[in-house]
Amino acid sequence: MVTINDYTSNYENQWCPGCGNFGILPAMKMAFVAQKLAPHELLLVSGIGQAGKTPHFLECNFIHALHGRALAVASGAKLANHNLNVVVNSGDGDCYGEGGNHFIHAIRRNLDLTLLVHNNQIYGLTKGQASPTTDKDMTTSIQSHGVSNRPFRPLAVALSLGAGFVARGFAGQKEQLAELIQAAMNYRGFSLIDILQPCVTFNHLNTFAWYKQRVVDVATLNHDARDFQSAMQLAMEWGERIPTGILYQHEEDDFTALNPWLQQGPMLQREYNANAINDYIDDLYRI
Amino acid sequence: MVTINDYTSNYENQWCPGCGNFGILPAMKMAFVAQKLAPHELLLVSGIGQAGKTPHFLECNFIHALHGRALAVASGAKLANHNLNVVVNSGDGDCYGEGGNHFIHAIRRNLDLTLLVHNNQIYGLTKGQASPTTDKDMTTSIQSHGVSNRPFRPLAVALSLGAGFVARGFAGQKEQLAELIQAAMNYRGFSLIDILQPCVTFNHLNTFAWYKQRVVDVATLNHDARDFQSAMQLAMEWGERIPTGILYQHEEDDFTALNPWLQQGPMLQREYNANAINDYIDDLYRI
Amino acid sequence: MAVDITVKIGGQAGQGIQTVGDLLCQTCRQAGYFFLAINDYESRVRGGHNFFQVRISDTPVLAPAQEVDLLVDLDGVTYTQHASELNDDAIVLCMPEQNPAGHRTLHIDFTGLAKEAGNKAAQNTVAAAACLALLGAGKELCSKVVSQLFGTEEEKIVTVNQKALQAGFERVAQSDLKGWNLTWKEQQPAGALFDGASALALGAVAAGCRVGAFYPMSPATGIMTHLVQLAEHFPLVVEQAEDEIAAVNMVIGANFAGCRALTATSGGGFSLMTEGIGLAATTETPLVLINAQRPGPATGLPTRTGQGDLLFTLHASQDEFPRFVLAPATVADCFYTIQRAFYLADTYQVPVMVLVDQYLVSTSMLVAEKLEINPAAIPASMPKPPAKPETYARFAFTENGISPRLFPCQSQALVKATGNEHTPDGHSSENRENRIAMVNKRLAKLPSMKQEQRPPLLHHEQADWLLVSWGSSYGMVYEAVGKLRSQGLDVGLAHLVDIWPLPQEPLQSLLSGSKWILVEQNATGQLGWMLRAELGVEPKSSILQYDGRPLEVARIVSETAAKIGG
Amino acid sequence: MAVDITVKIGGQAGQGIQTVGDLLCQTCRQAGYFFLAINDYESRVRGGHNFFQVRISDTPVLAPAQEVDLLVDLDGVTYTQHASELNDDAIVLCMPEQNPAGHRTLHIDFTGLAKEAGNKAAQNTVAAAACLALLGAGKELCSKVVSQLFGTEEEKIVTVNQKALQAGFERVAQSDLKGWNLTWKEQQPAGALFDGASALALGAVAAGCRVGAFYPMSPATGIMTHLVQLAEHFPLVVEQAEDEIAAVNMVIGANFAGCRALTATSGGGFSLMTEGIGLAATTETPLVLINAQRPGPATGLPTRTGQGDLLFTLHASQDEFPRFVLAPATVADCFYTIQRAFYLADTYQVPVMVLVDQYLVSTSMLVAEKLEINPAAIPASMPKPPAKPETYARFAFTENGISPRLFPCQSQALVKATGNEHTPDGHSSENRENRIAMVNKRLAKLPSMKQEQRPPLLHHEQADWLLVSWGSSYGMVYEAVGKLRSQGLDVGLAHLVDIWPLPQEPLQSLLSGSKWILVEQNATGQLGWMLRAELGVEPKSSILQYDGRPLEVARIVSETAAKIGG
Ligand SMILES: Cc1ncc(C[n+]2csc(CCOP(=O)(O)OP(=O)(O)O)c2C)c(N)n1
Ligand SMILES: Cc1ncc(C[n+]2csc(CCOP(=O)(O)OP(=O)(O)O)c2C)c(N)n1
Ligand code: SF4
Ligand code: SF4
Ligand SMILES: [Mg+2]
Ligand SMILES: [Mg+2]
């Protein structure tokens, strides 16, 4: 039986004490254990940033790739072997900033991946510049007169792109988050969980208390997760109330189901057939 | 007085006879003339593709930049001189594919730019691969079993990002398009016009006739362009009916208005002041 | 007498001159002739001036000729633009309103005859028929080829083209022009038709490539189009990425997961991939990347050819790591080189860059030799994980720098990798000694990598003068050497195909001993710079062509002769 | 006796050891001392082990020392990790529970005393006070500096830190340790405090830079942070882009529109900018780009230093075009080099890459010389458009390759530009002769570009042996040469600052005449490779450090001595 301990890493954790990521890490482990996945049955792919370090602090297969490119690497891994259980850890800068184009197109491509965005509304690892999700008017060392760019609403953008599983979690609510991760992993297709993750060092506006005051579970809101319009309305909300939970879920054939080339099984398992190649070449030499 | 002829280029047009771009070109000229802008008062910025060639076929200032990067170059030009009248010509591949990240963030940044996307739902210049807007199931030399990615809905994505001016035109309706371009140029902030542009060579599905049958002007739909929800609903529509016109318009301070550094005038006009620099340096050598 | 005839057909983009070429090439092939055909086109889809030029011979040809024997003008500007290339006794086929004074001429109303046959588009078949008739081909063979080529189209199209063929033949018969009396006996073809792109794609399949990811970019797109076609026959998934950055990272992900994977790009696309190359390098994930060069800088000349990326490819991506740079010499060599690329990438767990160019990928020719699978390049299955999976370290220090590579989720052993500097077990590390050891480990692969490298292709290497060249220009430089020697000049050839890492011998001895001339398709002599840096050798002179067009044999011959005072 | 004392303070990230450094440096400065301070930190925000090391002297210093005189251990591991660096008579300040056997030790309960003063965070001030007391500084001066440094904070914070200062002084007074008896008279400072980042930012302002665009990337971020601060005083807009591709293209757009603009990046960010460099090159738009090197490949060691990008920077982007590569030698030189970069970019309308590294941008020091605006680098106003605006051709052919540059919408003359190959008027062109002429036009700038280049910095260049180095390592190599000479070894220095284009003389004569040793911070000796390629010269040996840490003077000295048999 898989236990939480199987996921314990010996590698020294490098996050700041009190960081919201310490809520996400156990939720991940809880979800994996509940899924009965052993560490060697899981592949984590991450970008660069504090969020990107996550895989080091668990015990499992991982590739900690380039800033912004985790989804592309994860997509390639799934093309090669769509039986892999792939979970992606990214940050708000990593995923919506540098990696914005891959975010858009990964949703369109709809490979069976689970994306966890540790959204601390700040660039943590590079010490506190605004990210795409930083609230308007917040000041930083670079945005010295306050952020003027419109904040990026990841869930709304994902919905506008046709995403089939769109959710929000909060690092301060591990149990809910663990359940969301499980639901996302069970969902066949691309699933997004944007996770509110307080950065105790650089974001003094969106603190644990700030989030706690605002989060409401959509389960309490009489919202039907199959209702796109209502989901979009909730996804655009930000301020007094911040909806969490599964905002939208919709079943649809994923990339693999739609791809005739993948129908005979994962590419990794497809045998090399020298005869077939030789025959094909021979034919080219005939009339 | 500025006339259409002022915009006539001697450079040989390279588009295919019958191309939808031949509807966009005159609409642009009509709009510029109506705006009373002489060619030397206008800067066109474009990417690479058939759409990207547009500036060569007009007579004005231009920079025909890299594939996908037109918005970034245009943004830089506006930072340097926000008095410039900048119009960007991009393609569906250029803007929503390679340039997807700049599209997202240009909307967030809200510089006073007008973006015209020649959306022929195909990669024209590279000879017919699927673009982000290609309809599902269409086959091409690469998507030999039909496109499986979810189509990109540019207007919906722009709305989800908070865009303040979101419109759709059709190359087959020059007058409407010219008016849209004018409205977009008059709008203070980032404006998007996605233009349905038949590619007679590579897109045999979304033809002139196909679009003509489907386009309906939102003016006829009793739609209030200030109503976000209704705009979003129209923006997600694609099929039997394709709404054109201004789907959404909303007034808001643009980048320049929000940026204290730009308040004293365009950077290009700010004098070099050696004394101020020397004084500043002197201070550093004091205690 | 030996057959060596060059036919050039000029027309607008979208006019379909490729059809003329296909008809000519297929007929030649079925009559046992060799040929090599180049495509010259602009970065537009309709209009402008393009041409297709095929050289037909009874012995293998590896280079286009500069002199044209038979010119077909379908656009009204071909003759004017190419008159200077015509041989004295050349024949010009053109529309009635044209007047190519001073050349043997046959006026043909291509479109008129095509319309009579039922479709204006069949003008290409009229033109091809006239060419074939002038070359002495039998109508029966030609008619068979028409049926084969249009066989997948509707019945009506076949009929129209058969009529057009007939019309073309008749037009020639009516004239009193004397063409060429080649033998056109239907016989076993001397080989198969390939262009560089199809040879690369097929070679990738032969090497067990399972995943392709790319973003369209001339002239690399054709490689992926061919791969898509092969996916109908072999297990293979090809995905069009949202940009080149995604493409290279997808390929890294696929390789990391255990599948051989390929990407191909050019110019700006290659620039965008440079960061990914470094990720492959430091995670020691195999990566095969084809850079199909085109002239730059920036967008440059998107549909033309050049060799301007050599030094960039050698150093692309921040900091230092071992890599292979291979540059196939011929269309057939594309097939072999890409197989070796996969073998080398897997064996050394390093990025392998294959440098081709627009000329090589889009040149089609009869490849006489039978292409064979390279057994060494067949992918091995994953090595056995250690008995104690927890002892597995993806980046374990070894003498030759190569660590045991497992795939994630394929055993109990955990595979951990990062683009940060890392310890043997794949975790990020800031440790100083570890850093030094890891840099050394990666660079330790170089000596054995060098051992893998093919020596340059040598011809008459003891000659007084050597031409030194690389990659796709082989055919042209080789032919030039033959011509120079037949002029009595003692010239040989050293042609590089495996560029990096560069083994010192035999080049060191050869180039320090003799006088040599650099022949490259760039403006600054990049190979020369590299050879100076690596071997301390200095060319006497260089022949540099950077106009975006295929290297010209005649030019190499005349410039070499002038330089060596021949 | 000459003052030359090195203080090292080790602690965790987030513990604020920078405050200790600021207090020490500011006090030194106000007492007329020189200093140079390096920061060593990991890629994390809290925890781990960082240190700050300052060398204090009564004469200008350009390099950190390897031997430590006073070590402060704030994290419990500093002593263990750095014991080997201590001088025999060094003093260690550490927490009561530690036992640095064999060294003079002062136990200080840093946090306890800080808490007593009112705030745990003031432990840094306790530590700084103890250091200053041991160095013999007067409490009055120190107290003044504390007030200045914390002056912008609330009243309470100043009070707490003053108390902490008092506590630190008292702790030293209670002990019987004999420290150093430096003179600490308040006096006119010997200069201003800069690090490479602030010198680069200020230099950009001095050159009239009006736009900055960047994406955060260590170690380049600091340059932009300083630029943002300068934007409070000077007309300047700094925009954080969505990625590095946007950043470089924004800067190109801004320059095209007529404003001087700057971007700075590192590693993968530089890789992503390579395509844009080509756009600047072919549209002949000035571009100034700072590449602040860090070790790779890929993410590598994000907060550490190296010189691994030289060859990549020389060849980055497809195909060929002229560019400048400049590598400032010192913090002050950063100020001058970036001004020249803007001057050169505008004058030659080419990309200028400034190669610095983490060591240089984050090293802070007292710059004695007064930094002066370079009058040549003050931006000129737009040239007068031609009387007949319609005759204007942005890319007109000229003898020196430089065409008249106008800005769009600033006159009746239309400015047209494209990343495709183009005719003089800026329209795309496929024409062969035009292509050759345009390549030649661009490359024609090289001879005059070479004339602009500064010769290498030379010291004792007639010596038996020369060290050859480049960029940020100047201070270290210079000091090493001094030490070697004082050991009686005839060693000189040729240090390159203007790397590309490389004028042949004086290097050619110097390096072919004498024996020389390459000193670089990379593993393959990239400068050596370039010098071989350019000048045909060969080093006798090399000293290569690639551990991500600043080059060590002691190591250069010992290795050089060993190599030359001294
Ligand atoms: C190409 C590239 N650009 C920039 C960086 C520098 N960088 C590292 S992490 C980071 C941002 C991190 O922010 P986010 O993704 O929100 O993650 P967080 O640290 O907040 O979890 C940046 C810009 C990089 N490593 N690579
Ligand atoms: C970095 C880069 N990648 C790829 C290309 C090749 N390319 C040129 S145009 C184009 C796509 C054009 O499609 P779209 O933007 O829809 O324009 P259209 O031709 O349809 O107007 C591509 C992929 C390029 N020039 N640069
Ligand atoms: S900087 Fe912020 S996000 Fe990063 S580890 Fe610290 S608290 Fe967490
Ligand atoms: S290929 Fe299509 S988009 Fe391009 S010019 Fe032709 S018709 Fe227009
Ligand atoms: Mg973040
Ligand atoms: Mg398109």
Q: Is the CB of B118 under 6 A from ligand 2?
A: yes
In this structure, what token pair is assigned to residue C283? 């995670």
- Identify each DSSP E strand in D111-181 by its residue range: none
* CB contacts, 8 Å: A162 with chain B: 150-151, 153
pLDDT band at C153 (very low <50, low <70, confident <90, very high): confident
pLDDT tens digits, one per residue of B5-50: 999 999 999 999 999 999 999 999 999 999 999 999 999 999 999 9
Helix orientation angle between D196-206 and D221-230, rounded to the nearest 10 degrees: 50
Task: Give the gap in angstroms from C-alpha B287 to the nearest C-alpha of chain C.
Answer: 38
Q: Which of D42, D217, D243 to mutate to test the pocket of ligand 1 (most atoms within 8 A of CB)?
A: D217
pLDDT tens digits, one per residue of C533-555: 999 999 999 999 999 999 999 99
Residues B158, B234 contacting (CB under 8 angstroms): no
How far, in Å, CA of C519 to CA of C560, rounded? 10
> Which of A204-218, C181-195, D153-167 reaches the highest mean pLDDT?
A204-218
pTM of the shown model: 0.98
Give the per-residue pLDDT at D402: 98
| Number of helical H runs and strand E runs in chain A | 10, 8
In this structure, what token pair is assigned to residue D217? 């990337």
Q: Which residues pair with A243 in a beta bridge?
A: A216
Radius of gyration of the CA atoms of chain D, in A: 26
- Alpha carbon nearest to ligand 2 atom 23, residue: C216
How far, in Å, CA of A164 to CA of A184, rounded? 10
CA distances, C97 to each of C90, C93, D111, D182 (Å): 19, 12, 98, 100
Amino acid letter at A172? G
Contact state of B161 with A152 under an 8 Å Cβ cutoff: yes
Residue whose tokens read 């005038």:
B265
How far, in Å, CA of C468 to CA of C470, rounded? 7
Please name the residue ranges forming H helices in A187-268. 208-214, 228-236, 255-258
Task: Give the gap in angstroms from C-alpha D90 to the nearest C-alpha of chain B.
Answer: 31
Residues in chain B: 287
Cα dihedral C179, C182, C186, C190, rounded to 10, equals: -120
Q: Any residues with CB less than 8 A from the CB of A107 and at least 6 apart, and which?
A: A158, A161, A162, A163, A190, A192, B150
Beta pairing class for D68-73 and D34-40: unpaired
Q: Which of A13, A15, A195, A211 to mutate to test the pocket of ligand 3 (most atoms within 8 A of CB)?
A: A15
Q: What is the CATH number of domain D453-563?
A: 3.40.50.920
Give the per-residue pLDDT at C102: 86
C498: phi then psi, degrees, rounded to nearest 5: -105, 105
In this structure, what token pair is assigned to residue C142? 């030609």
Contact state of D224 with A16 under an 8 Å Cβ cutoff: no
How far, in Å, CA of C335 to CA of C352, rounded? 15
Please name the residue ranges forming H helices in chain A. 21-34, 70-80, 92, 100-109, 154-160, 174-186, 208-214, 228-236, 255-258, 274-285
The least confident of C96-110, C480-494, C518-532 is: C96-110
Q: Domain limits of chain D?
A: 4-173, 195-370, 383-452, 453-563
How far, in Å, CA of C219 to CA of C391, rounded? 46
Contact state of B201 with C14 under an 8 Å Cβ cutoff: yes
In this structure, what token pair is assigned to residue C417? 């990798």
Fold equal for D4-173 and D195-370: no
Give the per-residue pLDDT at C566: 55
C182: phi then psi, degrees, rounded to nearest 5: -75, 160
Q: Any residues with CB less than 8 A from the CB of A232 and at least 6 apart, and which?
A: A156, A159, A160, B160, B232
* For testing contact with chain B, the best of D245, D339, D409 (most B CBs within 10 A): D409
Amino acid letter at B122? I
Nearest-ligand number for the alpha carbon of B94: 2
How far, in Å, CA of C415 to CA of C405, rounded? 8
Residues C408, C257 contacting (CB under 8 angstroms): yes
Amino acid letter at A11? Y
How far, in Å, CA of D157 to CA of D57, rounded? 31
Q: What is the CATH number of domain C195-370?
A: 3.40.50.970
Per-residue pLDDT of chain D (566 residues; tens, 9 = 90+): 589 999 999 999 998 899 899 999 999 999 999 999 999 999 999 999 999 999 999 999 999 999 999 999 999 999 999 999 999 999 999 999 988 888 999 999 999 999 999 999 999 999 999 999 999 999 999 999 999 999 887 889 999 999 999 999 999 999 989 999 899 998 889 899 999 999 999 999 999 999 999 999 999 999 999 999 999 999 999 999 999 999 999 999 999 999 999 999 999 999 999 999 999 999 999 999 999 999 999 999 999 999 999 999 999 999 999 999 999 999 999 999 999 999 999 999 999 999 999 999 999 999 999 999 999 999 999 999 999 999 999 999 999 999 999 999 999 999 999 999 999 999 999 999 999 999 999 999 999 999 999 999 999 999 999 999 999 999 999 999 999 999 999 999 999 999 999 999 999 999 997 899 999 999 999 999 999 999 999 999 999 999 999 999 999 999 999 999 85
Q: What is the value of ipTM here, to two decimals?
A: 0.98
- Neighbour order of strands in the sheet with A85-91: A215-217, A242-249, A165-170, A191-196, A114-119, A85-91, A42-46, A61-64, C416-418
Nearest partner of D308 among D527, D559, D536, judged by Cα: D527
Query: What subunits touch chain A, counting only 3 or more CB pairs under 8 A?
Result: B, C, D
How far, in Å, CA of A14 to CA of D41, rounded? 13
Nearest partner of C55 among C90, C5, C11, judged by Cα: C5
Give the per-residue pLDDT at D566: 55
How far, in Å, CA of C546 to CA of C533, rounded? 23
C446 at the D interface (CB within 8 A)?
Answer: no
How far, in Å, CA of C423 to CA of C430, rounded? 9
Give the per-residue pLDDT at D1: 54
SS3 of residue D128 by DSSP: helix
- CATH architecture for the domain at C4-173: 3-Layer(aba) Sandwich (3.40)
If one counts every other C-beta atom within 10 angstroms of the C-beta of residue D16, the result is 17
Q: How is residue C406 annotated by DSSP?
A: -
What number is the average pLDDT over the span A42-50?
A: 98
Minimum-distance ligand 3 atom for the alpha carbon of A18: 7
What number is the average pLDDT over the span A126-155?
A: 97
Query: What subunits touch chain B, counting only 3 or more CB pairs under 8 A?
Result: A, C, D
Nearest partner of B15 among C299, C46, C17, C50, judged by Cα: C46
**What average pLDDT is seen over chain B?**
97
A10: phi then psi, degrees, rounded to nearest 5: -85, -5
Burial state string for A235-256 with b = 16 or more CB within 10 A and e = fewer than 16: bbbeeeebbbbbbbbbeeebbb
* CB contacts, 8 Å: A232 with chain B: 160, 232
Radius of gyration of the CA atoms of chain A, in A: 20
Residues C556, C519 contacting (CB under 8 angstroms): yes
Q: Any residues with CB less than 8 A from the CB of A93 and at least 6 apart, and which?
A: A49, A67, A123, A126, A131, A132, D216
C434 at the D interface (CB within 8 A)?
Answer: no
* For testing contact with chain B, the best of D227, D284, D416 (most B CBs within 10 A): D416
What number is the average pLDDT over the span B198-210?
A: 98
Query: What subunits touch chain D, counting only 3 or more CB pairs under 8 A?
Result: A, B, C
Nearest partner of C423 among C459, C400, C450, C395, judged by Cα: C395
Helix orientation angle between C17-30 and C123-134, rounded to the nearest 10 degrees: 40
Residue D246: closest CA among chain A residues belongs to which residue?
A98
How far, in Å, CA of D291 to CA of D152, rounded? 33
Q: Which of B129, B141, B202, B205 to mutate to test the pocket of ligand 4 (most atoms within 8 A of CB)?
A: B202
| Overall fold of domain B4-286 | Rossmann fold (3.40.50)
Beta pairing class for C324-326 and C491-496: unpaired
Give the per-residue pLDDT at C1: 54
**What average pLDDT is seen over chain A?**
97
Contact state of A126 with D45 under an 8 Å Cβ cutoff: no
Residues D135, D3 contacting (CB under 8 angstroms): no
Minimum-distance ligand 4 atom for the alpha carbon of B51: 3
